[in-house]
A and B are shown apart, each in its own frame.
Chain A
Amino acid sequence: MENALGQVGYQSTMIIIVFVVLGLGIAALFAALFLPTRWRLPYSMEFLFVGLLLVMVWYGDLRSTEIFEAYQAPLNEEGVLEVGYEPGDGEFDRVIRVLAFQWGFAFINEEDEISRNAAIVEPGERVLFGLFANDVIHGFNIPAAGITAEFEPGAERNVWIRAPEEPGRYLIQCLNYCGVGHSQMKAWLVVLDPNAEDNEEGGA
């Protein structure tokens, strides 16, 4: 899985750590239940154990913060989130404003063209999404880009992704329960094929 920063493996590292810890725990439980050898642990073992846990906490916080700050950095660039920002010459290649409503998404591109079901981008682009809603709390998730945001009515929320290199359709979905139509609140991230000639949207 590749996230918006193009980093692969952070999630997997964390999952592996989790399963190693789980494996050790289960091994200890089974040993305690079934090993013929009985072992009275000295109390000092617990301090060692807490020390190990503190290292885990430290590492988890460090890695997560590092990645999250790197992700936030382009959003903190001056002018990026202001009206009139010209994408292409800086951090982002494209800006799409997204109105989430009960129940769907409207994607508004730089030419103020509105699409009710697709955000159209090109392979590998860095796309900034300005998310907003007027009715209820919605979520915005693109599995292929590994990003989730939750935003309440009235607030504008900005997230960005690196579009997949492979042309095709990728799911965009609401992740926050927003009423009975929640399960239908889906759209597509369409990554155009730069080599295709008959592109409906005239991209490429």
Chain B
Amino acid sequence: MASAHDAERMGATPHWEPEDIIGKMTLSTLLFSNDYRHIAIKGMLTSVVMLGLGGLMAVLFRTELAYPGIQILDARPYMSLMTLHGMFMVFGFIIPFVVSIMYYMMPKILGTEQLLWARGAQWSYWLLILAAVLLIISRPDFTWTFYPPMSLRVGGSLVWMGYIAVLLVAISEFLAGAVLLKNGMAAAKRIGYSKLPLMGWGAISEGILLIGSTPILGLVGIVMYTDWLEVTALFDPSRGGDVMTFMFMFWFYGHPAVYLPLMPAVAIVYTLLPRFLGRPIWSYWSAVSAFAILTVLAFIVYPHHFQPAENVSGPLQRAVQILTLAIFIPSTLHVFNWIATLWSDKIPDSARRAVPFKFIIASIFFLMYGGVTAYVNAQIATDSDFVHNTYFVPAHFHAMFVGFMANMAMAGIYYLYPYFTGRMYNQGLGNTHFWFWQIGIFTKVTMMYLLGFNYFPRWVVDYLDLPQWSIPQLILTGAAYLIGLGFILFVYNIMRSANRGVTVSGDPWAIEGGHDADAAKPVPAE
């Protein structure tokens, strides 16, 4: 079943020697080095900090939501925390995290040996930091979708910094997209499209998504700023603008945006599964087709985000419904492929022990758990009933963002950990982190689904004391604490193990206890 060049294009071989890269980094390499591993480590660690900040915000407002009524947070600080939570987690944590993991993996897996146009990645990083600083200063409270004219009339005198931050995020993501596309295309040119490792396909899809969608976001940021200055009035109906212009523009970025962390996470699964199992992915071309279909669909289904609005009606509405339902197909092809790969032969004992492998399995589970409900979300009849803007929507995207993508980000960092520290993480702490997270995320997502089904509205600081609302909210807050605890264990683990972990040499993920141990043994690194 596996052809001759499978081992090469599947990236089943180890690529680095474990060494203490992070210990040798100085302040100047940390800040300005264009070495791909330095950029990637910087990106990953910054993302962990962003995850901590975003998570702290979540824990604060979840504490508020534990009981009906106002306890610790008023509406405005609550909304600021909620807005910053969304922006930090999506723009600051999850997208840069998985993209950084790709920066780390691509040069060796695609055989380019270095990150092409690393300066672009460097600029992308610093612009994002600037955007995060502006966001913290301006503390916007208009949610991450900042619908005008509401967003033009809230916030303090510094809210314009939020719009500038949106523009900076767009430029930063555009640069990251250019870097990924360049590396993917260069590898494809060198080794040919039919032999391109799936990570290369992931890089190309991700690059196209980023480059195609972010210019519109930048434009939205600029127009929001000029509208706020009252120089223009494109989005403000009271001065002759049109909100629907905003909706179509924003979501043209907004839908691809949710795939921005998805594509790298999928590419990382395709890279790590063969690595842990010692055998190629079940079907290479199925994976490539799924990447391609998903990239195309990502650009055209965006009106489903504001489907219960009047402008999405008639044939447009129907077409959007069918196309959105069709997304089901490429996404399940990925999952099908992974399960077929897992099933095709014995799972080595070394994989079963490895914490990153466990995170991969949990990710596959959550991709299904979050993905299947898209079937309900996509249908106009159910969307106009209990789905639109109830907790059903956050349930869906938290299952995807946290359950799939954040779990995959964790799989990536645990996998790379021995390569950049030269030491192994603590297995017990890693396992505890794993279980805290999986139990926490599962409980959280399930409670959110339940609340959504009971019409619990999004973005509320206070709610009616109904049993079908208050009980799941309380459990949900408990789950958030559990996830927070898991995160603290993770940070403690990576900090402690960097100095005191077991030193590793050779291949930290060498396959043991496989079905056909000799044949499956990975080829040593050149």
A99 close to B (CB within 8 Å): no
Given contacts A64-B321, A157-B310, A175-B458, contact A38 B149 (CB under 8 A): no
Does chain A have a CB within 8 A of B373? Answer: yes
Interface membership of A176, Cβ < 8 A? yes
A143 to chain B minimum Cβ distance, whole angstroms, is 4
How close is A53's CB to chain B, nearest CB, in angstroms?
5
Residues of A within 8 A of B378 (CB): 60
Name which of B76, B308, B386, B390 has the most chain A CB atoms within 10 A of its CB: B308
B496: Cβ under 8 A from any A Cβ: no
The reply on A14 being an interface residue by CB < 8 A is: yes
A134–B238 CA distance with the chains assembled, in angstroms: 8
Contact present for A14 and B379 (CB under 8 Å): yes
Please tell me if the beta carbons of A18 and B333 are within 8 angstroms of each other in the complex. no
Assess the B75–A151 pair: CB atoms within 8 A: no
Report if B243 contacts A (CB, 8 A): yes
Q: Which of chain B's residues 302-334 have a Cβ closer than 8 Å to chain A?
A: 306, 308-310, 318, 321-322, 325-326, 328-329, 332-333
Docked complex Cα distance between A134 and B384 (Å): 22
The tally of residues in B whose CB lies under 8 Å from a CB in A reads 79
Q: Does B232 contact A (CB under 8 A)?
A: no
Contact across chains for A148 and B382 when beta carbons are under 8 A apart: no
What are the residues of chain A within 8 A of B380 when measuring CB–CB?
64-65, 68
Size class of the contact patch on chain A: 35 or more
What 1/0 flags go to B333-364 for Cβ under 8 Å of A?
10110011011111100000000000001001
Measured between alpha carbons, how far is A90 from B469 in the docked complex, in Å?
A: 38
Task: Tell whether A153 pairs with B243 under 8 Å between CB atoms, given A180-B79, A181-B75.
Answer: yes
Q: Find the A residue at minimum CB distance from B282.
A: A41
Contacts of A50 in B (CB 8 A): 329, 333
The answer for the CA separation of A22 and B376 in the assembled complex, in Å, is 13
- Complex contacts, B16 vs chain A, CB 8 Å: none
Query: Which residues of chain A have C-beta atoms less than 8 A from B464's C-beta?
Result: 171, 186
Would B154 and A21 count as touching, CB distance under 8 A?
no
Contact with A along B263-297 (1 / 0, CB 8 A): 00000000000000000001100100000000000
Distance (whole angstroms) from the CB of B491 to the closest CB of chain A: 29
User: Can you report 20 residue pairs joining A to B where beta carbons are below 8 Å apart?
Assistant: A11-B385, A11-B386, A22-B369, A29-B368, A33-B342, A33-B347, A40-B345, A56-B375, A61-B318, A65-B321, A71-B381, A146-B385, A148-B390, A150-B309, A152-B243, A152-B247, A179-B153, A179-B154, A183-B463, A186-B464
- 0/1 per residue, B227-243, Cβ < 8 Å to A? 00000000001100001
Q: How far is the CA of A54 from the CA of B342 in the complex (A)?
A: 25
Complex CA distance for A43 and B147, rounded to whole angstroms: 46
**A73 within 8 Å of B (CB atoms):** no
B379 to chain A minimum Cβ distance, whole angstroms, is 4
B141 to chain A, nearest CB (A): 7
Name the distance in Å between A75's Cβ and chain B's nearest Cβ.
11
Query: Considering the complex of A and B, which 5 residue pairs feature the smallest CB-CB distances, nearest first?
Result: A183-B460, A64-B379, A32-B343, A143-B455, A32-B342
Residues of B within 8 A of A (CB): 1, 75-76, 79, 141-143, 145, 147-150, 153-154, 237-238, 243-244, 247, 282-283, 286, 306, 308-310, 318, 321-322, 325-326, 328-329, 332-333, 335-336, 339-340, 342-347, 361, 364-365, 368-369, 372-373, 375-376, 378-390, 453-455, 457-464, 515
Shortest beta-carbon distance, B295 to chain A, in Å?
18
Separation of A179 and B80 alpha carbons in the complex (Å): 11
Bitwise, A1-45 to B at CB < 8 A (1) or not (0) is: 001000000110011011101100110110111010011110101
CB nearest neighbor in B for A49:
B336
A63 contacts B by Cβ under 8 Å: yes
Q: Are B389 and A175 in contact (CB under 8 A)?
A: yes
Chain B residue, CB-CB nearest to A64: B379
Q: Write out the residue numbers on chain B whose beta carbons fall within 8 Å of the beta carbon of A40.
A: 1, 343-345
Beta-carbon contact of B457 and A154 below 8 Å? no
Given A136-B150, A180-B79: A61 touches B321 (CB 8 Å cut-off): yes
Most chain B beta-carbon contacts within 10 A, residue among A22, A57, A139: A57
How many Å lie between the Cα of A71 and that of B382 in the bound state?
Answer: 12
Tell me the nearest residue of chain A to B361, going by C-beta: A33
Inter-chain contact B372/A177, CB cutoff 8 Å: no
Q: Once the chains are docked, how many angstroms separate the CA of A10 from the CA of B387?
A: 14
Q: Are A56 and B382 in contact (CB under 8 A)?
A: no
Residues of A within 8 A of B386 (CB): 11, 143, 146, 148
Give bound CA distance, A98 to B26, whole Å: 63
Contact with B along A102-120 (1 / 0, CB 8 A): 0000000000000000000
Tell me the complex Cα distance, A173–B75, Å: 17
Asked if A174 is at the interface of the complex by the 8 Å CB criterion, the answer is yes
In angstroms, how far is the closest chain B Cβ from the Cβ of A132? 11
Closest Cβ–Cβ distance, residue A163 to chain B (whole Å) = 16
Further contacts, 20 of them, CB under 8 A, given A14-B382, A136-B149, A176-B147: A11-B376, A11-B382, A11-B385, A17-B375, A22-B372, A28-B339, A29-B342, A29-B361, A38-B345, A38-B515, A40-B343, A43-B283, A61-B318, A134-B238, A137-B150, A152-B244, A153-B237, A173-B455, A182-B460, A183-B75
A14, A54, A157: the one within 8 Å of B375 (CB): A14
Which residues of B have CB within 8 Å of A153?
149, 237-238, 243
B150 near A177: Cβ-Cβ < 8 Å: yes
A178 CA / B154 CA spacing, docked (Å): 10
Given the complex of chains A and B, what is the CA–CA distance between A175 and B306 in angstroms? 12
Indicate if A165 sits at the interface (CB-CB under 8 A): no
Q: Which of B145, B339, B373, B457 contacts A141 (CB 8 A)?
A: B457
Q: Which residues of chain B come closer than 8 Å to A146, judged between CB atoms?
A: 385-386
Q: Select which of A19, A45, A149, A173 is within 8 A of B457 by beta carbon.
A: A173
Whether A135 is near chain B, meaning CB under 8 Å from some CB there, is yes
Contact between chains at A177 and B143 (CB < 8 Å): yes
CB contacts (< 8 Å) of B153 on chain A: these are 136, 179
Contact A137-B375, Cβ < 8 Å, known A32-B343, A148-B385, A149-B308: no
Known A11-B386, A26-B368, A29-B368; judge A150-B306 contact (CB<8 A): yes
CB of A182 within 8 A of CB of B459, answer yes
Residue on A nearest B376 in the bound complex, by CB: A14
Question: Cβ of A147 < 8 Å from any Cβ of B?
Answer: yes
